[in-house]
Amino acid sequence: MQETEEPLELVQRVAALDIGKSMLMACIRVPHEDKPGRRLQEVGEYATTTRSLLALADRLRCQGVTLVAMEATSDYWKPAFYLLEAEGFECWLLNAKHVKNVPGRPKTDKLDAVWLAKVVERGMCRPSFVPPKPIRQLRDLTRYRRSLVRERSSEKQRLEKILEDAQIKLTSVISNLFTVSGRQMLQAMIDGERSPRVLAEMARGKMRAKLDALQEALTGHFDDHHAFLCTMMLARIDDLTARIGELSEKVEQVMEPFTTQVDQLIEVTGVGRGSAQEIIAEIGVDMTHFPSSDHLVAWARYSPQARQSAGKTKSSTTGKGNPWLSGALGEIGIATSRTDTFLGSRYRRIAKRRGKRRALVAVGNSVLTIVWHLLSNPDARFHDLGPGFYESRINKERQTRNLMRQLEQLTGRPVVLGETTV
């Protein structure tokens, strides 16, 4: 039996907040002045307005509180967290799953705040990652930009459906409806042009080789009703494009202090400037928050969670992580899948055996590992290992057996290598 030495209270002066939209319940726990080993507890309700939160900060300061903890309840935690952080308090944001109350007890705001304070003061939880203010501001910009890009994609899909309703099959002939030629054809139809031949003659470049197919695709029943809807949708698409451009310019300005980190990341296969900006916005540039690359991968939910019972290890999923980071990593994975590189080879090797979704997770795992090492060392640079990295390290005997087995399947006869029959 190994002896352990742990104090009853790891944090002497702690406060916990159970936060709602308009009100919060605060529990303050401090040592008893006259009775060693006993605790004093104060529970009070405060509004979430600025004046009330400043009054709470004064009360916490009077009690000598050194740590303030709160659950991540929607976005309601942000005003209290940011204000108390600015007032000089150490703030912890906790995952509600990690501090769940004991089943069977009554659930009230007061009891939740008391339970949270007890859990924190005994060191029975860990804080979630909350980036510093500059990274938070960058995160707001990149997330809003991604949201607008998604809205623009949805609007483009609606426009394509309207054309399908009018029996206009342009998307069956050209890959992108919003090229110069495609937009010119759309605008001509909106302005009243209905001749398939005249519309097809607006094609430019390589599209000129598809004039016959274009005339066939442009033969439909596009009328004023479709023209009205297309006009509104095109205006919406153009407006979103302009807003996305403005956001990108603002992101570039905010990213100026992190130019070195962006230059490091864009060297990685599949990582463009936008993806690098989104990765930095989600995980920051200070990798001391993650002791190792494995911690970063686990935080992003790109590694399977341990699931063991009765001595048996069971299969498990990665769980739900940061959807914004997952979106950027998914785009990187798809981009690398078509490259003749180490990451591209890794994707194809896993996709062949376990499917595309697992392959994307595996590539995301590798990208996060690379990102952690790059951001941990300003002088580090990415070096691609090449598409043959895995093949060059496979055991020769194992590779021989695999090749002989494949040859047996092709010929239907046993294969003999030297004096040995396999």
Last residue of a domain, one of 121, 143, 161: 121
Return the top range by mean pLDDT from 244-248, 340-344, 415-419. 244-248
Question: Per-residue pLDDT averaged across 192-199, rounded?
Answer: 89
Give me the pLDDT at residue 318, please: 66
Residue 57, token pair as written in the block: 């900060």
| pLDDT tens per residue, range 243-252 | 999 999 999 9
Instruction: Please say if the pLDDT value at position 277 is more than 60.
Output: yes
Return the top range by mean pLDDT from 147-161, 380-394, 396-410. 147-161
Residue-range definition of the domain harbouring residue 243: 135-254
Whether 242 and 279 map to the same domain: the answer is: no
- 228-237 contact pairs (CB < 8 A, 24+): 229/162, 230/159, 230/162, 230/163, 230/186, 230/189, 230/190, 231/190, 233/155, 233/158, 233/159, 233/162, 234/159, 234/183, 234/186, 234/187, 234/190, 236/155, 237/152, 237/155, 237/156, 237/159, 237/178
Whether 95 and 158 map to the same domain: the answer is: no
Residue appearing with tokens 């859990």: 119
Give me the pLDDT at residue 207, please: 86
Whether 173 and 250 map to the same domain: the answer is: yes
| Alpha carbon distance 177, 172 (integer Å) | 10
Whether 250 and 263 map to the same domain: the answer is: no
Whether 167 and 250 map to the same domain: the answer is: yes
Give me the pLDDT at residue 414, please: 84
| Alpha carbon distance 416, 406 (integer Å) | 13
**DSSP-assigned letters across all residues of 326-372:** HHHHHHHHHHHTTSSSHHHHHHHHHHHHH-HHHHHHHHHHHHHHHHH
Q: Does residue 18 belong to any structural domain of this protein?
A: yes
Q: What is the CATH number of the domain that holds 100?
A: 3.30.420.10
Question: Per-residue pLDDT averaged across 306-316, rounded?
Answer: 63
Q: Does residue 152 belong to any structural domain of this protein?
A: yes
Whether 279 and 191 map to the same domain: the answer is: no
Q: Which of 210, 198, 112, 124 is nearest to 170 (CA)?
A: 210
Q: Does residue 7 belong to any structural domain of this protein?
A: no
Whether 214 and 145 map to the same domain: the answer is: yes
Structural domain count, the chain: 4
Tell me, yes or no, if the pTM score tops 0.85: no
Give me the pLDDT at residue 1, please: 56
Whether 397 and 289 map to the same domain: the answer is: no
Instruction: Please say if the pLDDT value at position 421 is more than 60.
Output: no
Whether 141 and 232 map to the same domain: the answer is: yes
| pLDDT tens per residue, range 111-140 | 888 888 888 888 787 888 888 889 999 999
Give me the pLDDT at residue 150, please: 94
Instruction: Please say if the pLDDT value at position 352 is more than 80.
Output: yes
Question: Per-residue pLDDT averaged across 166-185, rounded?
Answer: 89
Whether 361 and 276 map to the same domain: the answer is: yes
Whether 115 and 172 map to the same domain: the answer is: no
Give me the pLDDT at residue 322, please: 84
Helix (H, G, I), strand (E, B) or coil at 259: helix
Measured at the alpha carbon of residue 33, what is the angle toward residues 30 and 39, in degrees to the nearest 5?
40
Q: 204: Cβ–Cβ under 8 A, 6 or more apart, which residues?
A: 180, 181
Instruction: Please say if the pLDDT value at position 422 is more than 50.
Output: no
Give me the pLDDT at residue 394, please: 66
Instruction: Please say if the pLDDT value at position 228 is more than 50.
Output: yes
Give me the pLDDT at residue 20, please: 86
Q: Does residue 5 belong to any structural domain of this protein?
A: no
Question: Per-residue pLDDT averaged across 72-77, rounded?
Answer: 84
